[in-house]
Amino acid sequence: MEAPPPIHVNVRRGLRWYVRMPLKLIILALVTTLVLFPDPRLLVRDIRHLSNLDAMIDARDPDLQKWVTDFHDRMTKLPSPASQPADVQRAAERYVYEHVPYQWDWVLYGSADYMPTVAEMFAFARQRPDGKVYEDCDGRAVMCASMLKALGFDSHIVSDLEHVWVETPDGRWMGPGMKPAVQSSTTGNRTSVRAAAENFPTALSFGVSVFPFSRELMIWAAVVLLSLHPRMSWKAALIGAALSLQGLLFVRCGVISKPDFRWLSESWPTKIGLVHIILGLSILWIASFRARRRPPLANGAVHAA
């Protein structure tokens, strides 16, 4: 009895890597953009605003002038009016804290980040029942810098990637953060790459920890799905997905300054999380690469390893 003829499987090549990879990156970029900025118009405006922080300072806004007048009235009614520039600026800082309660951009604008102009802050306030201006650190910094400029002080906006504050020749206001990574001036922004790299783990952890977790899961799912291949090992897919998700959870831990781990720095959860994410995605990518080089089984089964 003759042996049955061998089964020949026609292996059809998919898209070439130089087409497939850019296509996946474009898909991931679109998903990430829509998750973080459901209204892309805000993203465009935010980029334009962030391109020159000092250009956001507006000391002539009519609504701001009302605040400046009220501030002057308050200062003149004090038993001992402030005479030193730093004292006046400290009082202006307290005034902004009082009149601009803190609120996340996601709640205010439905966007991961948005730095509004002074006019926009007052315009949004008029649309609210309580008529108040709500903002996070960048909006508060813009408002404070504008007030100080209207009071005659030389003010500039500074950021460390996590926080935004105001600096003048007399002091640092609105809760100065880490080492300045972006400093504004009359000629535009000046960026310190070294400071940005040093601040990145803490800034990343803060941003991830305060953003809605459900939205972050959408981005994580997109990355995992784009890394999968029909013929890859299900074990590798499971391990890679689990490791990357665990890494995301570590990054969300924020900054934990436990004495036992200070040798790793206060942002050690973020660094461990990034390692987990890289390991998880590496497993997915390697398994997917191997699956593409492996012919499909004749009966449609899935490779186990």
Domain end position, chosen among 198, 225, 259: 198
Distance CA 290, CA 101 (A): 54
182 and 53 fall within a common domain:
yes
User: What's the pLDDT band for 11 if we cut at 50, 70, 90?
Assistant: very low
CA distance 140 to 99: 10
CATH of the domain at 103: 3.10.620
Residue 260 belongs to some domain of the structure:
yes
- Is 146 inside any structural domain? yes
pLDDT recorded at residue 296: 63
Last residue of a domain, one of 176, 198, 220: 198
Of the three residues 198, 213, 238, the one that is the final residue of a domain is: 198
Tell me which long-range contacts 58-61 makes (C-beta under 8 A, separation of at least 24): 58/117, 58/118, 58/119, 58/146, 59/146, 59/147, 59/149, 59/150, 60/150, 61/118, 61/119, 61/122, 61/146
Are both 143 and 223 inside the same structural domain? no
* Radius of gyration from C-alpha coordinates of the chain: 26
14 pLDDT above the threshold of 70: no
Q: Are residues 71 and 31 in the same domain?
A: no
Model confidence pTM above 0.95: no
Q: What is the mean pLDDT of residues 235-255?
A: 91
Mean pLDDT calculated for residue range 237-262: 80
Whole-number pLDDT of residue 79: 76
Place 149 in a pLDDT band, splitting at 50, 70 and 90: very high
Mean pLDDT, rounded, of the chain: 88
Q: Is 118 a domain residue?
A: yes
What is the spatial distance between Cα 121 and Cα 135, in angstroms, rounded to a whole number? 8
Task: Give the model's pLDDT for residue 240.
Answer: 96
Is 10 within a domain? no
pLDDT at residue 158 tops 80: yes
Per-residue b/e over 51-60, b at no fewer than 16 CB within 10 Å?
Answer: eebbbbbbbe
Domain that holds residue 243: 17-37+202-292
Q: What confidence tens digit (pLDDT) does each residue in 183-231 have?
A: 987 778 999 999 999 999 889 989 999 999 999 999 999 999 999 998 8
State how many domains the chain has: 2
Q: Does the structure show a pLDDT above 90 at 246?
A: yes
Name 172's bridge partners. 167
Do residues 94 and 158 share a domain?
yes
Task: Judge whether residue 98 has pLDDT over 60.
Answer: yes
* The pLDDT of residue 80: 74
Answer yes or no: do 62 and 176 share one domain.
yes
Domain assignment present for residue 305? The answer is: no
The neighbour count for residue 256, using CB atoms within 10 Å, is 12
